[in-house]
Chain A
Amino acid sequence: MILGLHRASLRHGKAVQALRNVDLEIEAGERVALIGPSGAGKSSLLNVLSTAIKPTEGELRVLGEQPWNMGNRSRQRLRSRIGLVHQAPPIPGRQRVVTAVSAGRLAEWGLARGLLNLLHPLDAEGARKALAELDLADKLFAQCGQLSGGQLQRVGIARVLYQSPELLLADEPVSAMDPVLADHTLGVLCRNARERNVTLVASLHNVELALAHFPRVIGLRDGQVMFDCAAADVAPERLRALYANEHLVPAPAAEADAMAVQIPRC
């Protein structure tokens, strides 16, 4: 087991309960999609799994270690083996793409090499290779602020690919891309995971993409796991129950029946 969560809960402040008693086990080399309605806790779960946020209750085991029972230094070492693709790429607009991508190895490099790399890119070829997988090699020396949302998202993915972690987590990695590009980019992520035998967990808005690319799918709703099964076993009723939204005002009479179920298809 490479990733294990035992009775984990996460609260933001007092009011918001993002995760409730989540149990989860993921084996090495698995590829898992997280789906669920907005606010279901997908991002919270990924943040907990990536050791970015400490769960309020429960126990997390990652890569055979307990990150919240160790010192800062060893936790930082553990974190360098985990890559998280953020939903909004956390990259300063004034940074060049080559710097943003090479920041993926910052943990491995340490401060001195990191500072040197700011003055002159030390491994431009490595960064170019990571970008080339996502068809962005020509943007190596562009400013991140000048890229489109989809391009910036791919820079964020390239950074994590360049980090080459043992555990790859992705929070809505393709949300800013058009359907064709989204499909292609997910394909790249999955192929990469397969080739390097990396465990991949990604949250996705698009159910079809999740079913097409991932052997295992976890449905999350109200911070709880609704179902956890093979992609082939995800039946339409399960999806309907997962995405059912009683708060939405029904559309005007004529379309009411057709709109009753809100399964996002982007």
Chain B
Amino acid sequence: MLSRDTRDPALLPRLMLTALALILLWPGIRLAELDVSVLWHGDSARDMGNFLAGFWPLASDAEFLALLFDATLQTLAIATAGMAIALLIAIPAGLFASRALSLSAASRGGRPLWWAQALRWPVRGLLIFLRSVPEIVWALLFVRAVGLGPTAGVLAIGITYAGMLGKVYAEIFESVDQRPAHALMQAGSGRLAAFCYGILPTAAAELMSYTVYRWECAVRASVVMGFVGAGGLGQQIDLSLRMFAGGEVASMLLTFLLLVMLADALSRLLRGRLA
């Protein structure tokens, strides 16, 4: 008895899990045909070098800068409008999918009734469906429906990101301390009111930071969708790449860096206000 208690009972499972992770990693690398040494082989290194050398000097003539400015604004507009649509779907869906608003959970030690839990599954299924199709596929679909242009990008981001935001919102709602909300519901208040008074104060910083991060991702995603004709910076990059105008591509990449830095600063500012 004593000799057994002197050893950490969690030791063996942890060692096994580590071994399992390593064993699974090897076939993964084989399947992905990962071979880093190719990077240093003669031709490929020179090709990459030539490609990158074309990036200098940065394109900075007035005409191009005006174009870049317009494309950047369009990209930001696509990302922001897409996020607005996503939020419209994600907030109610997140509330429906989350156990945080369950009246039955409040009086059953956090476990909702089985049928109440079953009602959450269709919403979860919808969120899974929305985000399981990549935004680029949605974009291709909408380009066929509404034609070339930013509208397709906005719709594609709105739909995919609704799925991601809704899922993560539901999990954030559940991961914070539920007792304040439960106490309010046990004192007779409605679910939404209990949510706003009991969960939102604790979850706000996390929600804000994730939302801003997703907005940043939406900026990048809108670029990828530009490649299939959904407007913005992506369409410009695609054109410049085709014309081997490396300097223009580099200028646009620099713009991206600035946009991501902007998102980062915004996130930090908002978190500072909320924390």
Q: List residues of A whose CB falls within 8 A of some B CB.
A: 12, 50-54, 72, 76-84, 86, 88, 90-95, 99, 103-104, 106-107, 109-111, 114-115, 118, 163
Contact = CB atoms under 8 A, between A and B. Distances in A.
A111 B187 contact: no
B204 interface: yes
B137 to A, nearest CB: 39
Nearest to A113: B193
A99 B186 contact: no
Interface residues of B, number: 28
Contact of B179 (A90, A94, A114): A90
Contacts of B70: none
B99 interface: no
Interface of B: 103, 106-109, 177, 179-180, 182-190, 192-194, 196-199, 201-202, 204, 274
State the main secondary structure of chain B at its contact with A.
Answer: helix
Contacts of B108: 53-54
Given A93-B202, A99-B197, A106-B194, A114 B189 contact: yes
A94 B199 CA distance: 10
Contacts of A77: 188
A114 B196 contact: yes
Nearest to A109: B193
A80 B197 contact: no
Given A76-B188, A106-B189, A118-B196, A90 B202 contact: no
Contacts of B184: 90, 103, 106
Nearest to A100: B197
B7 to A, nearest CB: 26
A194 to B, nearest CB: 22
Contacts of B107: 51-54
**B106, B190, B192, B202: residue with the most chain A Cβ atoms closer than 10 Å:** B190
Contacts of A111: 190, 192-193
A163 B189 contact: no
B190 A76 contact: yes
A92 B201 contact: yes
B187 A114 contact: no
Given A79-B186, A80-B188, A163-B187, A90 B198 contact: yes
Contacts of A84: 183, 186-187
B186 A95 contact: no
A179 B245 CA distance: 79
A19 to B, nearest CB: 14
A78 B103 CA distance: 14
A75 B202 CA distance: 27
Contacts of B202: 92-94
Contacts of B182: 52, 90
A209 B89 CA distance: 54
28 contacts: A51-B107, A52-B186, A53-B107, A53-B108, A76-B190, A80-B187, A80-B188, A82-B188, A86-B179, A90-B198, A92-B177, A92-B180, A92-B198, A92-B202, A94-B202, A94-B204, A94-B274, A103-B184, A106-B189, A107-B187, A107-B189, A110-B190, A111-B193, A114-B189, A114-B196, A115-B196, A118-B196, A163-B187
A107 B107 CA distance: 17
A106 B201 contact: no
Contact of B201 (A54, A76, A95): A95
Given A92-B202, A93-B202, A114 B193 contact: yes
Contact of B188 (A78, A86, A99): A78
Nearest to A76: B188
Contacts of B109: 12, 53
**B109, B183, B190, B198: residue with the most chain A Cβ atoms closer than 10 Å:** B183
Nearest to A144: B201
B136 to A, nearest CB: 39
A90 B202 CA distance: 12
Contacts of A110: 190, 193
A167 to B, nearest CB: 12
Contact of B197 (A51, A54, A79, A106): A106
Nearest to B181: A90
A107 B188 contact: yes
Nearest to A143: B201
Given A93-B201, A103-B197, 6 more contacts: A76-B103, A76-B185, A80-B188, A86-B179, A92-B201, A114-B197
A77 B189 CA distance: 8
A115 B192 CA distance: 9
Given A95-B197, A106-B197, A118-B196, A90 B180 contact: yes
Nearest to A50: B186
Contacts of A54: 107-108
Contact of A106 (B103, B106, B179, B193): B193
